[in-house]
Amino acid sequence: MTANATPDDAAAAFEPLRPKLVRVAYRMLGSVTDAEDMVQEAFIRWMGADRSDVREPEAFLRRTVTRLCLDQLKSALRQRETYVGPWLPDPVVEEERDDDVTLPLMLALERLSPLERAAFLLHDVFGLGFDEVAATIQRDAAACRQLAARARSHIRDARPRFQVEKQRGLALAEAFFVASRSGDMKALGAMLADDVSVHADGGGKRPAATAPIVGFEAVMKLHEQLAALFQEIRSDLVRAGFVNGLPGFITLEADGEFSTTALDIEDGKITAIYVVRNPDKLKHLH
């Protein structure tokens, strides 16, 4: 930035970077609302900063957002200790798949320390060198290498090994919707892996299982019960898409609220079903 840059110039420089900054913040926090809040706070700080010495606004702002997220994570982790039932990240639904950070990987990131999470995301996902990572999280480069290496060892199993082909994944998601709502248990059972699991996030605000349901028989029993319920109440498909990088769909339920379903698929079988019903996490879909 030049020494005589005006506030209008500063705002104009910021806005094209906002989507990238939101992506960084969302992957740090798993919350769309919190990510947008962190980026807006960074904007306020940017407008109030001495910008005359800032040669690279993007790097400056990425550092600011990351540090704000590290502070925010401390309170977020405390809140999750009292969260009702399984916690899932806010669903981000896109037409194209995001291969970098899928939902299982985001859940694995929850097991990392905030600094491990930041080092892994900045280096392995966003491609920053360790000198830049070090400047961002205020640790030396060697420590950042260790943080990223520890993170990789913790989350190795969460990285997708065999990506399902895009159209095949979407077709399976739509077939799952039809079978689960119509009560076609034979068709549904043919889609599920033996060790399939269901993780439902209602946040204590809408009905949802308060613990994961694991195993073919238990998941089939759950869907038999749900299918009977769907005969009496509506569950309409809004659209199929990729939910946090996994094939899935948005539905409009009888209570007027959205729900999202994401399917983890391996070798043509559904291994995990992730359902977000907490209305606080679905506001951005309206």
CATH of domain 7-158: 1.20.140.160
Q: What is the 3-state secondary structure (H, E, C) of the chain?
A: CCCCCCHHHHHHHHHHHHHHHHHHHHHHHCCHHHHHHHHHHHHHHHHHCCHHHCCCHHHHHHHHHHHHHHHHHHHHHHHHCCCCCCCCCCCCEECCCCCCCCHHHHHHHCCCCHHHHHHHHHHHHCCCCHHHHHHHHCCCHHHHHHHHHHHHHHHHHHCCCCCCCHHHHHHHHHHHHHHHHHCCHHHHHHHEEEEEEEEEECCCCCCCCCCCEECHHHHHHHHHHHHHHHCCCCEEEEEEEEECCEEEEEEEECCCCEEEEEEEEECCEEEEEEEECCHHHCHHHC
Contact predicate 190/139, CB 8 Å: no
Contact predicate 30/90, CB 8 Å: yes
pTM: 0.92
Q: Return the structure tokens found at 10.
A: 């500063």
Euclidean distance between CA atoms 15 and 23, whole angstroms: 14
Closest CA to 245 of 104, 34, 129, 142: 104
Label the pairing between strands 93-94 and 235-243.
Answer: antiparallel
Instruction: For the chain, list residues with pLDDT below 50.
Output: 2-4
The residues spanned by each domain of the chain are 7-158, 166-285
Fold assignment, 166-285: Nuclear Transport Factor 2; Chain: A, (3.10.450)
Greatest Cα-to-Cα distance within the chain, rounded to the nearest angstrom: 70
pLDDT of residue 160: 63
Euclidean distance between CA atoms 68 and 25, whole angstroms: 9
pLDDT digits (tens, 9 = 90+) for 211-259: 999 999 999 999 999 999 999 998 999 999 999 999 999 999 999 999 9
Query: For tokens 């009560």, what's the residue?
Result: 183
pLDDT of residue 5: 61
pLDDT of residue 6: 77
Euclidean distance between CA atoms 43 and 14, whole angstroms: 7
pLDDT of residue 100: 78
Give 152's contacts (C-beta < 8 A, 6+ positions apart).
120, 124
Taken in order 129, 13, 91, 192, the sign of the CA dihedral is negative
Torsion angle of C-alpha atoms 84, 86, 91, 170, degrees rounded to 10: -140
pLDDT digits (tens, 9 = 90+) for 77-111: 778 888 999 999 999 999 888 777 899 999 999 99
